[in-house]
Amino acid sequence: GQNIDQPTEMTATEGAIVQINCTYQTSGFNGLFWYQQHAGEAPTFLSYNVLDGLEEKGRFSSFLSRSKGYSYLLLKELQMKDSASYLCAVSSNYGQNFVFGPGTRLSVLP
């Protein structure tokens, strides 16, 4: 089976940097995805890692270590609109399985 773990809640200040961690256990790993979900809305795709290392996309970066079963999402220059839940998801079995972690609720304070 698969097991994905994330912190439940985090709080950060506007303009700061925050790192949201995700650990996972899976077989047949194909990729790790990060999604953002604002309250009352559907999740939206943020980033994707399939190889080890850092992927940068504007204010958002995501890191993957396959040997450690570990990823993080880094948000820089936080804005109030970044207050949302961030979901880590693992794809396996040639992309046939897509399992979401419990999500991290981020609150950005002024």
Partner 1 sequence: SAVISQKPSRDICQRGTSLTIQCQVDSQVTMMFWYRQQPGQSLTLIATANQGSEATYESGFVIDKFPISRPNLTFSTLTVSNMSPEDSSIYLCSVKGGFAGELFFGEGSRLTVL
Residues that bind partner 1 (CB under 8 A): 31, 33, 41-45, 48, 50, 87, 89, 91, 95, 98-103
**Distance in angstroms (rounded) separating the CA atoms of residues 38 and 81:** 9
Minimum distance, C-beta of residue 106 to partner 1, in the bound complex (Å): 15
Q: Report the amino acid identity of residue 18.
A: V
Nearest CB to partner 1, comparing residues 15 and 95? 95
Nearest CB to partner 1, comparing residues 30 and 76? 30
Token pair of 26, please? 């899976």
Token pair of 76, please? 């820089």
